Amino acid sequence: MLHKIALRGIRRGISLTAMNNGKTSKKVCCKREKECFLSQISARDFICFFIRTFAALTIEEMSIPTIRTTEDGSHTLFASELGECYHSTHGAIQESQHIFIEAGLRSCPNPKIEIVELGFGTGLNALLSLIEAEKSGRNIRYTSLEAYPISQEMAATLNFCKILQTPQDLQDHFKSMHSCPWDKETAITPHFSLKKIRCDFREGIRLVGSFDLCFFDAFSPEKQPELWTEAIFSDLFHIANKAAQLTTYCAKGSVRRAMQAAGFEVERLPGPPGKREMLRARKSMHENT
């Protein structure tokens, strides 16, 4: 039984760290190697892996979020466990456009951009990025990490395309974003590809090769303090390309300091309606890592 649950952990891509000769710890990533390791590792390592898997599977059973309408007319979702919405109640589209498209995508000059997002959720940031890619002709490779995906049925009821008055083909693209397979890069349009990785952020960052732009869109640090740490920002810093940027709606001093401690240069920018400030972090052009 325990072994069966641990095998589900392997399928979910949960990382396994095992002691190597009792000295250094070895991170095992590949599925086949993990399966082989499970039968050989110590009881202590097995239990650690089991607990991580069990936690992930329990969260998977979080209740289904409910749809709410924000002040600009666009939908958001409300996660009752956390008592928090996926977006600003002052306007979901307005917030995403301001933080991730205007302060993020439009300030990134590269003709080809690799984006990594923490939290696919409703797919709103991905949709706005696709619209931007189509308008500008720039190529975007979009990788999004998500532990608790919403159903395709729920995605179909979201009104983003209606509010944005997008043509039918964009509505089809939004549908494809939700229906495309997990853990596989899919070309949604010639300018935009999407890879959704089903994982916990803390495990998933190592599955992302590099990025030019990061949309840091976890729930708030009050609700998920474990995701706004120096350790997470350090993991991101190490895979960030030179001059890469990270934007987030959060402007808390402790988050800014965690980003700085990880190596980023951080600036405060005016926030979207209802929010005084937001943060944009940058990896220096001259960074030697």
- Residue closer to ligand SAM by CB (options 96, 97) is 96
Nearest residue to the partner ligand SAM, using Cβ: 121
Nearest to 207 by CA among 184, 178, 227: 184
Are 134 and 167 spatial neighbours (Cβ–Cβ below 8 Å)? no
Total number of residues that touch ligand SAM (CB under 6 A): 19
Site mask for ligand SAM (CB under 6 A), range 25-64, x = bound: ----------------------------------------
Q: Write phi, then psi, for 152 (nearest 5 degrees).
A: -65, -30
Site mask for ligand SAM (CB under 6 A), range 201-230, x = bound: x---------------xxx----x--x---
Q: Which of 104, 121, 263, 271 binds ligand SAM (CB under 6 A)?
A: 121
Please list, in sequence order, all residues whose beta carbon lies within 8 angstroms of the beta carbon of residue 235, skipping any fewer than 6 positions away. Answer: 205, 206
- Residue closer to ligand SAM by CB (options 41, 103) is 103
Within 13 Å of residue 53, how many CA atoms lie on the same side as its CB?
23
Structure-token pair, residue 96: 């995403």
- Residue closer to ligand SAM by CB (options 46, 120) is 120
Distances (CA, A) of 112 to 62, 126, 133, 205: 37, 16, 10, 21
Looking at residues 139 to 198 of the shown chain, list those that interact with ligand SAM (rule: CB under 6 A).
145-148
Terminal C-alpha separation, the chain: 44
Q: Which of 122, 129, 143, 245 binds ligand SAM (CB under 6 A)?
A: 122
Q: Which residues bind ligand SAM (CB under 6 A)?
A: 86, 96, 119-122, 124-125, 145-148, 200-201, 217-219, 224, 227
